[in-house]
Amino acid sequence: MLSPMLKVLLASRNAGKLREFAELLPDIQFLLWPANAPELPETGAFFLDNALQKAEGARLWWRQHGTEPVDGVLTDDSGLCVEALWGGPGVLSARFAPELVSYRDKNRRLLGLLPEGADRRARFVCVLAYLPMEGPAITVSGAVEGSLAFEHRGEGGFGYDPIFIPEGHDRTFGELPADLKHTLSHRSRACAALRRGLAAHQG
Ligand code: IMP
């Protein structure tokens, strides 16, 4: 338990991520990125660059427009890295096939890029940047290894969850219960590391 309870601006509009942070870090009081706030640019080549870029943008914006004091801002840059796609879509995961609206369609498109017999190994990666209102960033990461299913399976989770089978399981993140995803996911591992970093900071 972090004490005193931190009040943190979570700079993301991804509903799936927001739900997971509330479940994974229940002892942090999150404020959501306001509707009138700008989209935060993410132009880096690596998850870490993007997480820091978004955190710096969010802190600056909150300093100028924030409606209440917060201890810091938190950003998440994450994605699915597929062996047979040379690590793609990777940092471009949120921008893969932008002309398709639903993840059911994006997932079908992504699976269609793999030729028969392709290496189906894949990994979810999550990098978090916590930037206190004063002081340097804490950055942490988490990953989970697995493989791609042959079709979209399950309605749980979000994004690429229905095509990702974590190592040691035969169901996708879309089929596994959320509390099981939280015992092994990239985001849960990054959150555990963040909790350790914050606790060390609090002394
Ligand atoms: P970004 O971090 O905003 O660039 O977007 C990350 C994208 O990666 C999301 O929009 C999802 O498409 C995907 N992604 C990240 N984490 C997960 C996850 O836990 N499950 C499924 N898809 C994810």
pLDDT tens figures, 93-136:
999 999 999 999 999 999 999 999 999 999 999 999 999 999 99
Q: Has residue 3 got a pLDDT over 80?
A: no
Residue 41 lies in a domain: yes
Catalytic one among 71, 77, 105, 161? 77
Residue 166 lies in a domain: yes
Compute the distance from residue 94 Cα to the ligand 1 centre, in Å.
6
CA 133, CA 76: separation in Å to the nearest integer?
17
CA 28, CA 15: separation in Å to the nearest integer?
17
Pairing of strands 6-10, 28-32: parallel
Placement of tokens 């993840």 in the chain? 103
Compute the distance from residue 54 Cα to the ligand 1 centre, in Å.
15
Nearest CA, atom 1, ligand 1: 77
pLDDT band at 202 (very low <50, low <70, confident <90, very high): confident
Instruction: For ligand 1, say whether the CB of 146 is within 6 Å of any of its atoms.
Output: no
CATH code assigned at 57: 3.90.950.10
pLDDT for the residue 203 = 60
pLDDT for the residue 178 = 96
pLDDT band at 188 (very low <50, low <70, confident <90, very high): very high
Closest CA to 14 of 95, 104, 107, 118: 95
Residue 165 lies in a domain: yes
Number of domains in the chain: 1
Per the structure, the complete domain to which residue 138 belongs is given by 6-202
Structure tokens at 109: 């498109």
Phi-psi map region of 155: left, alpha, beta (phi>0 left; psi -120 to 50 alpha) = alpha
CA 150, CA 115: separation in Å to the nearest integer?
11
pLDDT for the residue 201 = 82
pLDDT tens figures, 51-108:
999 999 999 999 999 999 999 999 999 999 999 999 999 999 999 999 999 999 999 9
